Chains A and B, each alone.
Chain A
Amino acid sequence: MAEKKVKQIAIYGKGGIGKSTTTSNLTAALSLAGYKVMQFGCDPKSDSTNTLRGGTYIPTVLDSLRESTIVKPHEVIYTGFNGVYCVEAGGPAPGVGCAGRGIITAVELLKKGRIFEELDLDYVIYDVLGDVVCGGFAMPIREGIAEHVFTVSSADFMAVYAANNLFKGIQKYSNSGGALLGGVIANSINAPYAKDIIDDFVAQTQTQVIEYIPRSVTVTQSELQGKTTLEAAPNSAQAQVYKRLAEKIAAHTQSKTPKPLDVKELRDWAAKWGDNLLALETGEIRSEAAGI
């Protein structure tokens, strides 16, 4: 029997943009579609998988490292909603140690244990902390750990800026077997101009939007119950959006090297959109989005 190839996906994006929410719903949706999925939180906050486990925290890979340099799978892998596997890398307390090294260590520990193969997984989804600040956080896109990267971004300039930085990271490792870009998951897209902004950005950087996710109070309500939207409100419109995202990601095969904007291009691009939005506000362009 030929060994099945685990599809490994890394989700990046600016802090607080909705990575963990989106990832957890994606994990839940893929699992409901019949796949074996592991969600791997790469963030010292170790809160990535909370909504898959009723709002609870689990012991982390790096916690187990304090005791021994070999991880025992049962100490770090926990099952959550619909049997998904949850892992948290963990890390140091804020302001001490090296979180970046922690991510590298945690991912390597799991890889060494050949745990993905043993569990016969279809998907491993890495939910990686905020911006790529140093080498450690680039770990999942280096050395062929994940093959596909998706970035969660809203239409806010700082979110786009973080996405563009990530593209630079991907471009850097693209020639040495690093992960390539699957596309942008456009989160909190309600206003039409927001869609226009993100569409323009992906066109400029030669990538695509894989799905538009509206901002929805259902997400908040589910989160307050410690659940994903797929668990708490499976029949809601928002759940259908996440299912669509899961289908598209399951069908996605070819990732590409993006063309990030350089500093000046990005500034010019933002300035252009600043003018557009101003025109929109002063009524030069009429739109329903005028009440920002």
Chain B
Amino acid sequence: MVVNLKSHQSENRESRLGSITGYNGTLRDLHTQSGCGGPQNKERCFSQASLCNAACALGLTSFIVDAVIVQHSPSGCAVTAMTVSNATDQLAATINLDNSKSAYVCTDMNEADTVFGATENLRKVIIEIHKRYQPKAVFIGASCVSGVIGEDLESIARELHEELGIPIAPIHCEGFRTKIWASGFDAAFHAIINHIVKPPQKKTNIVNVINFFGGARKEITEIFSRFGVEPLFIITNTTVEQLSKLSESVATMSTCGTLGTYLGSGLEEAYGVPYIRSLQPHGMAGIESWLGELGKVLHKEKEVAEYLAEEKEKYLPKILEAKKKLTGLKAVIGMGPAFNFNTTRALQELGIEIEYSAAWHFDKQYDDSKAPNAFQYLVENSPNNYKMSVSDLQNNELLNILNTVKPDIFFARHTGSAVWAMKLGIPAICLYDEYAVFGYKGLYNFANAILDSVTNRSFTENLAKRVKLPYTDWWFKQNSDYFLKKEEVNNA
């Protein structure tokens, strides 16, 4: 087991999981390299802006309905607040949740705070926030500045926990800790396991479903009811009370291997809640594996098989029909590794050929010390050994790849990157909804969406005609790995 819950903070992915952000080669070469101590990270001699792991850590926790985030940082680090504050309100409204106890604030560290330390100010802010919002928990977000000057967040948290009687949980998401933003998820989950989750009082029939926004809430609740269990979609839109009982659930599963590994493994380690390690529920093989493994843990193999058979009967003919029209399409995919591998598998089920795949980082293993199932599946089953690059969303590299490959379609998971492909005249689909390819039905709908995109091209073509890209011809003539340093650097 690699998750160390005794420490104040989670280890970063680079050292814990051997994760990297710099690689260029092929699917199976990456696999081979992962076997022998590698893959070695390749540093870049030029890099575009990337994302701070604090954005993942605090963005995620800010969706807890009755907790407050206090980011102990200069105000610039709190840019995440802008993106989440609107979304948290909208989401809460759509499912009738009262999120009036939640807030995202920043201590706005200035020069004097940096010189003298500002834990007293942090204390005052937390006390004030407690008065105003009466949250059920407070998360303290660390920053580069608080980390460099060694602000003692643990002591403040302990003292205020005693004074206010609610969990006060420091999240160690200092930006310099890691180049991999997903390390921020781990930092947040580390804080949740250590400060929020309580030892079980009883066992429930709840399955923890780690996901982002719970889009398929209704559908999954219906499916799970056939197996006698109830899903709890975490951690967006959950309460501190609900989170405190994660230890009582029958199992934990995840719609994203990257997101789920730390919490899943941590709950298993601390409280023996089994973490279901499977493919994610994208497409046919995905749903069969995801529910199949759940069935084993619940001893409901028969019920699961029945459900899958019904779905198959309903959708497989339609899927095969759609597949005829899609077979032979060439695609590029650019996503975080877990969604990348799972979506790739689904695309291959539709007969689409992946020519190039860009992953926003690569985890050599998850916290069970095994390679991600979805990656392993592709290594064993992908019809072609497609090209692969790993970058922390270096847009210049992505555009170079797209311009070179000129695929029929590009698949993204971030609205920002989808539009860049369209500026090159390449139709693109952004899978912003994590359940867009959920199971048989999702795969069928997805097939239709792809068909729509590749046949209705006029918007993309018109956009491309009118846009001037910021990249030079010189850049488009280079290999996309031009900025990767040639000598290999150990990144531990």
A interface with B by C-beta (< 8 Å): 62, 65-66, 69, 91-93, 96-99, 101-102, 105
Contact = CB atoms under 8 A, between A and B. Distances in A.
Interface string B145-176: 00011111000000000000000000000000
Interface centre among B114, B115, B117, B148 (most CB of A within 10 A): B115
A178 B219 CA distance: 68
Nearest to B110: A69
24 contacts: A62-B116, A65-B115, A66-B112, A66-B116, A69-B111, A91-B115, A91-B116, A92-B115, A92-B116, A93-B116, A96-B117, A96-B150, A97-B116, A97-B117, A97-B118, A98-B114, A98-B148, A98-B149, A101-B111, A101-B149, A102-B115, A102-B116, A105-B111, A105-B115
Contacts of A65: 111-112, 115
**Taking each of A62, A92, A93, A98, which has the highest tally of chain B beta carbons within 10 Å of its own beta carbon?**
A98
A246 B187 CA distance: 57
B111 A97 contact: no
Interface of B: 111-112, 114-119, 148-152
B304 to A, nearest CB: 56
Nearest to B148: A98
A91 B115 CA distance: 7
Contacts of A91: 115-116
Nearest to A109: B111
Contacts of A66: 112, 116
Nearest to B151: A96
A131 B116 CA distance: 20
B117 A92 contact: yes
A96 B119 contact: yes
Contacts of B112: 62, 65-66
A94 to B, nearest CB: 11
A65 to B, nearest CB: 5
Given A66-B112, A97-B149, A98-B115, 20 more contacts: A62-B115, A65-B115, A66-B116, A91-B115, A91-B116, A92-B115, A93-B116, A93-B117, A96-B116, A96-B117, A96-B150, A96-B151, A96-B152, A97-B116, A98-B114, A98-B117, A98-B149, A101-B114, A101-B115, A102-B115
Contacts of B149: 96-98, 101
3 closest Cβ pairs, A-B complex: A96-B117, A97-B117, A102-B115
Nearest to B152: A96
Nearest to A98: B149
A259 to B, nearest CB: 32
A167 B149 CA distance: 26
A91 B111 CA distance: 12
Contacts of B119: 96
A1 B152 CA distance: 54
Contacts of A98: 114-115, 117, 148-149
